[in-house]
Amino acid sequence: MTTYSLMSGGEKLATTDTFSVINPSTMATVGESPKATAENLNTIIKEAKKAFSSWSAVPYAKRQQYLTQIADALETHSQELANIITQEQGKPIGASLGSMFEMGGAVAWTRYTASLELPVKVLQDDANGRIELHRRPIGVVASITPWNWPVMIAIWHIIPAILAGNTVVCKPSPYTPLSTLRMIEIMNSILPKGVVNSISGGDELGAAISDHPDIDKIVFTGSTETGKKVMSSSAKNLKHLTLELGGNDAGIVLGDCNPDEIAPGLFWGAFINNGQTCAAMKRLYVHRSIYNEVCDSLTAFAKSVKMGDGFAEGAELGPIQNKMQFDIVNQLVKTSIQQGGKVLLGGALDSEDSLFFPITLVAVENNENALVQNEQFGPALPIIPFDTVEEAIKLANDSSAGLGGSVWSNDKVSAAEIAGQMECGTVWLNKHGTIQPNAPFGGVKSSGLGVEFGEEGLLANTTIQCIFS
C-alpha cells in the first residue's frame, strides 16, 4: 500500500501520523495520507512565502513554459492519476465522463491557461501624461478543494495562481487527498522549490488556513455554509477570496421539445459524476403538455445506464463518495416521498450495506418539496411540471443558490430570452453543465464570490498597480 507525502519547499515532508483513505466502491483502504499538524502547516506556509519573491520575479513567458511542462507531465501520468482518482473517489475510469475524462480536463485547462497573457494596459497616453495599469501577484494563495473532482478542481485553483506569480498551498479533501498529493509531487519535479506545496488532514486545517496571517488569498470550492466560515475568518487580514459554492441548478424544458431526443442530455446534465457536481442539474421543470412523455423518456434512458465499481467494464456511474453524503441523499428522497413525491425510478433505501445509491427520479408537484429546495449532490432528480414560462422562471429562481441553469427548446431565440431572466452565473441552451477554460465560471446569490477560468479567472489572482508618468 502506498503512503503519500506532503510537499514543502520542494521536498517531501514527513508527518508523525497518517489516516486511511477508503475506496467507496469496496470500502477497502487504498492508501495512507499524511495527517499534518498545525506546526506542519506553519512550516509549509513559511516555505511558500519564502519562494514568493523569487517566483514572482520569474519572467511571465518563463512561467508559461513551466505550465506547458506541467501539462506534458500530467498527460504522461494520466493513467496513474486516473487510477488513484477511481480508487478514492469512485468514478468509473473508463466512462466517457469518468477519471480519464477528469485527467483530460486537467491537461486541457493547464494548456489553455498557459496561453493567457497579462499585458500592461495603457489607460492614458497624452500631453497630460501616461498611466499604465499593471497586474501584480497577490502572494501566497491557499487552495482548498472538494472530493468530487480532486485533480481537476485543484488544477483550476493552482495553475492560474502560479501563472500570475503567486505561490500555492493546496489542501485537498480528506476523503480524496491521494490523487492531489501525487499530482503536486509531479509538479514539484518541474517547478522551482516552494512554488506549489501540499497539506492534508482534517477540516481543522481548513480553518487554520483561512485564519492564517501569511495566507494572502483563498480559493475555495465547497458548500455554502463552509464558504461563509472561510469568508468570516479571512476578514482578519482582508484576504482575497474566490468562492465557488453550492448550486441548485434548474433546467427548464419548453413544450416544443422532443422528449426522446433530449433525454440523454437531460440525464447527463443531472447525473454527471453521479450528480456529485456543483453545476449538475438539480431540479427539472417541464411544461405540462409534455411532462409525462419527458418522465417516460428520461426513465427509459436512465434504465440503460450501468452503475458499478469504477474498474468494472461498462460502468458509467459509481457510488456516492462518502457515507455523510449518502445519508443526505437518502434522507432527502425519503422526505420528498413523504411530502407527496412519486418515485419513477430508484427510491430511498432502508438497508444501507454500501454507498451505491440507485439512480432516482421523482415526480414532484410542489416546489417546496425537500428534494427541490435542497441541493442533493447525488443521483436523485426531482421533475416538476409548469404551465407558463413566467411560472417556470419564478420557480427556477425560487432558490438561494445561483450557480447554473438551462433552457431546452427548439426556439433558441425564446430560450435565450428566458435564460436572461434566470438568476445564475451560467445558463446553457439545450445542454447543461458544460464548462470550458475560456469561459468565466462563477455563481451569484449564495453560490459564490468571484469567477474562475479564462482571462477573468487569471485576473482574480492579481492586484492592480497603476503607474503615472
Question: Which residues are the active-site residues?
Answer: 244, 278
| Residue pair 9/194 in contact by the 8 Å Cβ criterion | yes
Q: CA 351, 356, 361 angle in degrees (round to 5)?
A: 90
CA distance 218 to 283: 30
Q: Which residues contact 105 (CB under 8 A, 6 or more apart)?
A: 152, 155
CA distance 289 to 70: 52
Ramachandran category for residue 445: left, alpha or beta (phi over 0 → left; psi -120 to 50 → alpha): left
Using DSSP, state whether 247 is helix, strand or coil.
Answer: coil
Kindly state the DSSP code that residue 289 receives in the 8-state scheme. Answer: G
What does the DSSP assignment read for 74-136?
HHHTHHHHHHHHHHHH---SSSTTSHHHHHHHHHHHHHHHHT---PPEEEEEETTEEEEEEEE
Whole-Å CA distances, 223 to 1, 12, 94, 146, 363: 32, 31, 28, 9, 26
Nearest residue to 245 via CA among 146, 141, 152: 146
| Residue pair 219/245 in contact by the 8 Å Cβ criterion | no
Ramachandran category for residue 340: left, alpha or beta (phi over 0 → left; psi -120 to 50 → alpha): left
For the chain, how big is the Rg over CA atoms in Å?
Answer: 23
Q: Which residues contact 163 (CB under 8 A, 6 or more apart)?
A: 60, 63, 64, 67, 113, 114, 116, 458, 461
